[in-house]
Structure 1
Amino acid sequence: MPKVKEFLKNHKQFLLGLYIFIYAPWFAYLESAITTNYHVIHTALDDRIPFCEYFVLPYYAWFGYVGVIAVFIAIKDGPTCWKMGMYLLTGMTIFLIISSLYPNGLNLRPQVFPRENFCTALVQAMYRTDTPTNVLPSLHVYNAIGMHITLCVSPLLKNRRKIKAGSLVLMLLIVLSTMFIKQHSVIDVAAACLMAAIMYGVSFIILPRAVRSYKAKEKSVKTGMQI
C-alpha cells in the first residue's frame, strides 16, 4: 500500500480513472432504459456503405489502441495526460447527456450476413452484447481521434514519425469500421468528428494556455509582493 500511495502521489493523473464510476452506471442505465421510442439515426449515405465484416478487426483493435496509449501517457507524460483526460471525460459526459435527453438508435444491422466466417461470427457476437442504441455521437470514433491527437502532441513522440503514421492509419480504420460493420451511421461519425475538433481546441489549446497565463500572473504577483 505505501508503494501505491507513493505512486499515486507522483501520478495524480491516474485519479482521472475514477470517472469510470460515473460513466459506467450512467451508461448501463441508458442501455437498459432506452429500448423503444428512440429516434432512428439514418442518412441515405448509410445505405450506400456496404457491410464488410473484416472491419470488425480494427473495431476491436480500438480497445487495445485506447487502453495502451492512455496508460502509457498516464505513466510517462503527466501534463499531456491531463489534457487527454479533459478531452475524454468532457466528451464522454456530453455523450451521456445527449443520450439522456435525446434517445437515439440505429436500424442498420443486416438481418442476414452475406457469408459466414470468423469475422461475421465476431460481428454477430458483438451484436448480441452491444445494443444499437445510444450511438450519437460515436464514442468509438471520438476516443480514437483523441488518442491519435494525444500521441501527436506528446513531446515523448516528437520525432517518432513512424509511430504517428501507424497511429493515423489505425485511427482511420477504426473510424471506417464503425460504418462498415453497421455500428454507427455517418451522422454519428460526423458528430463525433465535430465534437473532437471542438474539444481538441478546448482541451489541448485554450485551457492549457489559460492555465499558463494564470500561473504566470500568479507568479508575477508573488514576485511583486516579495519586492
Structure 2
Amino acid sequence: MKAFFQKYKHAWVLLYAFLYLPWFFWLESRANLPYHVIHVWLDDKIPFVEYFIVPYLLWFVYVAAVFLYLFFKGTKQEFYRYCAFLFTGMTLFLVISTIYPNGHLLRPTEFPRHNIFTFAVQILYQTDTPTNIFPSIHVFNSIAAHRALVNNPRLGRNRLIRDASLVLMVSIILATMFLKQHSALDVMAGIVLGTLMDQIVYRMEFSFSRERVPKRKRETVI
C-alpha cells in the first residue's frame, strides 16, 4: 500500500469520497421531508421507455473507466482536470440540494410492460429516491467523462472510441428523462453546468500540477 501511494501520489484526491458520500447519504435520508417539486411541460411529453436502463447503468462504468484510465495511464494534469470537473459539479449539487431540497413526481405508478428491463428499473426506484435531482449528476458527469476522453491525446485521436463515447454520453442523458429519473429541467441544468465547466477546465490556460505537459494543437472534436 505504501509503495502504491508513493508511485501514485495523486491518489490523494480519493479523499473527496469522505466528503461526498456522507453528505450525499445524509441528503437521501431527508427524502421524506417536504421538497420543491421540479417539473416542466416537456416532462409530460416524454414517454417512459424501460430499455434506457442499459445506458443509465453503464454510466457507473463509463465515469469510473475514464477515471481509472487517467489515473494509471494519463498525465497528472489530465487526471487533475477530470477530477476538478467532476468534483466541482458534484459539490455544487450537494450545496444546491442542501439549501434547496428538490424532487419530482414523474415516476409511473405501474409499468406498461413487465420484462427484465422494467424489473431493473423497479430495483433502481427502490434504491434511489426521486429527490436531490437538480442538477442531474448523471448528465454532468457524463459530459465530464466524454470531455476528458476526447482531450486525451491517445483516446481522443481514436475516432471509434470518440464516437462511441459521444453516443454513450447522449444515451445516458436521454435515459435520465425516459426512465423518469429526472425532469428535463435537471438535464438542462446539468448540460449548462457541464458546458461551463468544460470552458473553465479545458479552455483556460492554467495548470493543475507541476508536471510539464507538451502543448498540442486544439482539436475541434465534440
> TM-score scaled by structure 2?
0.90
For 2:207, the equivalent position in structure 1 comes to 211
Residues 177, 183 of structure 2: 8 Å contact kept: yes
Q: Distance in 1 between matches of 2:95 and 2:150?
A: 29
In 2, the alpha carbon distance for the partners of 1:21 and 1:65 equals 22
Q: Distance in 1 between matches of 2:51 and 2:139?
A: 17
- State whether structure 2 residue 20 is matched by structure 1 residue 23: yes
Picking from 73, 76, 79, the partner of 2:77 is 79
The aligned counterpart of 1:199 is: 197
Indicate if the aligned counterparts of 1:95 and 1:139 stay in contact, CA closer than 8 A.
yes
CA drift of 1:156 comes to 2.3
Q: Corresponding residue for 1:6? A: 3
* Count of equivalent residues: 210
Q: Which runs of 5+ in 2 are unaligned?
A: 213-222
Tell me, yes or no, if structure 1 residue 44 matches structure 2 residue 49: no
Contact 2:135 / 2:190 at 8 angstroms: preserved in 1?
yes
Letter in structure 1 aligned against 2:5: L
1:87-114 CA-to-partner distances (Å, cap 9, x unmatched) read 1111100000000010000100000100
Please list every run of 5 or more consecutive structure 1 residues that lacks an aligned counterpart in the other structure: 217-227
- Select the residue among 96, 117, 124 that pairs with 2:94: 96
Give matches, 1:65-144, under 5 Å.
65-77=62-74, 78-144=76-142
**Structure that is richer in helix per residue:** 1
Amino acid at match of 1:143: N
What letter is aligned with 1:195? L
Aligned to 1:211, what secondary structure does the other structure show? coil
Q: CA deviation at 1:215?
A: 10
Q: Which amino acid aligns with 1:97?
A: V
Provide the TM-score with structure 1 as the length reference: 0.88
Look up the equivalent residue of 1:52 and give its one-letter code.
V
